[in-house]
Chain A
């Protein structure tokens, strides 16, 4: 079967330092996959490799069966893979509406068009407003994105990631820095907007992970030590020792 995302023996070294030491991972279409692991395990690096920010030293990455390792981020994005960032990475001086509008343009096929007025493009406007509605930022439509509250920016961050209609979405610690109620809210949002899509999420908040994930992979020192259903992961001795310790998810 063709997996939505398939990593085969991926290695990444920066000079002598080996960060990713042979990761093999297969994610089915529509699956909600969480990647957990201690700090420094290489989770963000893995995301950078998948999304094209950096290239693997060896190994292959395939999206819906086609190789994407070595491609530039915009090429990978055009093939239907999208990501959010752990450190909020929005367009700070553009308005909320503008942030989303820029994120939908390519997927709606407008490319580098400089001969059509953007205000007249109905599908652009509708899609942007729909997105704004989904992430709950319609009331902040004309505010500069840099002036939003932290939680609002995180919501916008997710909004930009899903704007292009990608089938495979990578979310890098979407709940980072959120309070309990904000996390609840964000969780509901993520569930809603990733329905039917393949979701791969890096997260530290175990309650979220065990709540959302169909499968969990555990990354420790650049290797996956376990990849299974949440209940199996909870019982896994190696995982407990390396990471979970005594604390358990709700």
Chain B
């Protein structure tokens, strides 16, 4: 690979960060882009543990949230004491905060690996979340802690009041973090993280303390999670106990896993898609959390490599120019797949409406423009019928996809 083609994805990323707000100019869009950028950093930090070192944590929000609280207290402190630290330096405080907490908690956490590590992370997460209601000074109780980012000293004339200015601050930080985290994977340490993930025993026998490797990975991951937390504090100007909670930890796990933990860009995709769904879906349907749970289960069951894994499955075929062979069967399968998806959504929405809303709003509902009754047999018959038809169709079409893949692997010259 020439150095030009290697720099290309990064240039593209920088261009996207810089120019997307020019294309999507509405305030909601720019807010969404800001949130996506923060979540990208958060998810990538999580994947340092999951994808790269093989550590499944259920409490990663602790480092995001605690650092976020630290950042918001720092912002208030700077304003109150008229310190000369402008806003763009606050994420550094967050990063150091995340690093500090990861250092302290990581020492206990990384003593063990595997399932026990996951349980420790869960317990620590619950510990911090439960403490958030007790330590009111730091966590601000139910209301949380607020700050005003425009009151910090200006940075080359910028006070970061408008969302677009905050977006660019976040975007620059996100870009820096993405580059740094990618660079980490290409260091001796980064490589040994992979080795520890693959075969911890053998890694010991080539001279590395697996506990030390995991501990360092944990600390570095905490640093970047802390940066993300600080960026969130800057963006929302408020931090509350939810940001250290189980829901936030579950969210970043979903983003990373659904995006694909096996590839560097996987969590980026996951963060973008899940953030988008989190923002838009809750407006459209009351059952949005159920959808997330089902999405997660479907990914685990049918594509444990996530979206990135699925994409990269096609990489060898693409390189050999064989993607065309797959196109017809994929196109064919998309029909029953769409049917079953439509049917499933209809079932869930109708059930949700009937169970939750019908008592107060009556059985009439709107579904993709159709006016339906959630208690009518016809509606239910349609929903179940569509879903069943889709599933049956999928089972009928699936052998064609297998055949197409068979043809692809036969067509490729060996070793290509």
B184 touches A92 (CB 8 A): no
A-contacting residues, B202-219, CB 8 Å: 202-210, 212-213, 216
Interface positions of B from 277 to 329, Cβ below 8 Å from A: none
Binds A, one of B36-44, B90-98, B185-193, B368-376: B185-193
The distance in angstroms between the C-alpha atoms of A74 and B210, with both chains bound, is 9
Distance from A63 Cβ to chain B, minimum over Cβ atoms (Å): 14
Q: Does A90 contact B (CB under 8 A)?
A: yes
User: Which of A102, A106, A118, A164 is the one whose CB lies under 8 Å from B187?
Assistant: A118
The answer to whether residues A73 and B204 also contact, given A102-B195, A121-B188 and a CB cut-off of 8 A, is yes
CB-CB contacts below 8 Å: A103-140 with B: 103, 105-107, 110-119, 121, 124
Task: Flag whether A192 is at the interface (Cβ < 8 A).
Answer: no
Known: A116-B187, A121-B188. A83 touches B205 (CB 8 A): yes
Are A90 and B213 in contact, CB atoms less than 8 angstroms apart?
no
* Residues of A contacting B194 in the complex (Cβ-Cβ under 8 angstroms): 91, 94, 98, 102
Question: Chain A residues near B192 (CB, 8 Å)?
Answer: 102, 105, 112
Residues of chain A within 8 A of B213, CB atoms compared:
112
Q: Cα distance A113–B192 when bound, in Å?
A: 10
Complex: how many Å from CA A92 to CA B54?
Answer: 14
A113 x B188 contact (CB < 8 A):
yes
B206–A106 CB distance below 8 A: yes
**Complex: chain A residue closest to B194, CB-CB:** A94
Complex interface: chain B residues within 8 A of A185 (CB): none
Whether the pair A74, B208 counts as a contact (CB closer than 8 A) is yes
Q: Compute how far the CA of A110 lies from the CA of B381 in the bound complex, rounded to whole angstroms.
A: 66
Residues of A within 8 A of B184 (CB): 114
Q: How far is the CA of A56 from the CA of B238 in the complex (A)?
A: 57
Q: Contact at B191–A98, with CB atoms within 8 Å?
A: yes
Complex alpha-carbon distance, A192 and B92, angstroms = 53
- Of all chain B residues, which has the CB nearest A142? B415
Instruction: Select from chain B the residue with minimum beta-carbon distance to A92.
Output: B198
A73: chain B residues at CB < 8 Å are: 201, 204-205
Whether A94 and B195, one on each chain, are in contact in the complex, defined by CB atoms closer than 8 angstroms, is yes
Q: Is B220 located at the chain interface by the 8 A CB criterion? A: yes
* Shortest CB distance A70–B (Å): 15
Q: A77-B204, A77-B207 are in contact. Are A112 and B189 (CB under 8 A)?
A: yes
B-side interface size class:
20 to 34
CB of A8 within 8 Å of the partner chain: no
The interface residues of chain A, by DSSP majority, are classed as loop
Whether A91 touches B209, Cβ cut-off 8 Å, given contacts A105-B192, A117-B187, A118-B188, is no
Chain B nearest CB from A31 CB (Å) reads 22
B202–A90 touching, CB < 8 Å: yes
Residues of chain A with a CB closer than 8 A to B202's CB: 85, 89-91, 160
CB distance from B401 to the nearest CB of A (A): 23
B204 touches A114 (CB 8 A): no
Q: Are B204 and A74 in contact (CB under 8 A)?
A: yes
Q: How many of chain A's residues have a CB under 8 angstroms from any CB in B?
A: 38
Whole-angstrom distance from the CB of A91 to the nearest CB of chain B? Answer: 4
Smallest CB-CB separation from B184: which chain A residue? A114
Contact of B207 among A91, A106, A121 (CB under 8 A): A106
Find the A residue at minimum CB distance from B189.
Answer: A114
- Give the CA-CA distance A103 to B216 in the complex, in Å: 19
B209 touches A105 (CB 8 A): no
CB contacts (< 8 Å) of B205 on chain A: these are 51, 73-74, 77, 82-83
Write the chain B residue with the least CB distance to A84: B205
A110→B207 CA distance, assembly (Å):
11
Q: Is A163 an interface residue (CB 8 A)?
A: yes
Residue of B nearest to A82 (CB): B205
B199, CB-defined interface residue at 8 Å? yes
* B237-283 at interface with A (beta carbon < 8 Å): none
Check if A78 is an interface residue, CB within 8 A of chain B: yes
* B residues near A240, Cβ cutoff 8 Å: none
Contacts of B15 in A (CB 8 A): none
Contacts of B207 in A (CB 8 A): 74, 77-78, 105-107, 164
A74 to B206 alpha-carbon distance, docked (Å): 7
Whole-angstrom CA separation of A33 from B216 in the bound complex? 40
B195: which A residues are within 8 A, CB to CB? 91, 94, 102
Given A102-B192, A118-B188, A160-B206, the answer on whether A89 and B201 have CB atoms closer than 8 Å is yes
B198–A114 CB distance below 8 A: no
A93 within 8 A of B: yes
CB pair B206–A114 under 8 Å, yes or no, is no
Whether A105 lies near B198 (C-beta < 8 A) is no
Question: B212 to chain A: which residues have CB within 8 Å?
Answer: 112
Q: Is the CB of B206 within 8 A of A103?
A: yes
Partner of A118, one of B191, B199, B204, B220: B191
**Smallest beta-carbon distance B52→chain A, Å:** 12
Q: Is A32's CB within 8 Å of the partner chain B?
A: no
Known: A93-B198, A114-B216. A77 touches B188 (CB 8 A): no
Asked if B12 is at the interface of the complex by the 8 Å CB criterion, the answer is no
Complex contact A94–B198 (CB within 8 A):
yes
Smallest CB–CB gap between B214 and chain A, Å? Answer: 11
Q: Which of B151-201 contact A (CB under 8 A)?
A: 183-184, 186-192, 194-195, 198-199, 201
The 5 closest A-B pairs by CB, nearest first: A106-B207, A114-B189, A91-B198, A73-B204, A110-B188
Extra 11 A-B pairs, beta carbons < 8 Å, given A77-B206, A94-B194, A102-B203: A73-B201, A73-B205, A83-B205, A91-B194, A98-B191, A102-B206, A106-B208, A112-B216, A114-B189, A115-B187, A164-B207
28 A-B residue pairings within 8 Å (CB atoms): A53-B201, A72-B204, A73-B201, A74-B209, A78-B207, A82-B205, A83-B205, A91-B194, A91-B198, A92-B199, A93-B198, A98-B191, A98-B194, A105-B206, A106-B207, A111-B188, A112-B189, A112-B212, A114-B184, A114-B189, A115-B187, A116-B187, A117-B186, A118-B186, A118-B187, A119-B186, A160-B202, A160-B206
Q: Spell out A's residues near B (CB within 8 Å).
A: 51, 53, 72-74, 77-78, 82-83, 85, 89-94, 98, 101-103, 105-107, 110-119, 121, 124, 160, 163-164
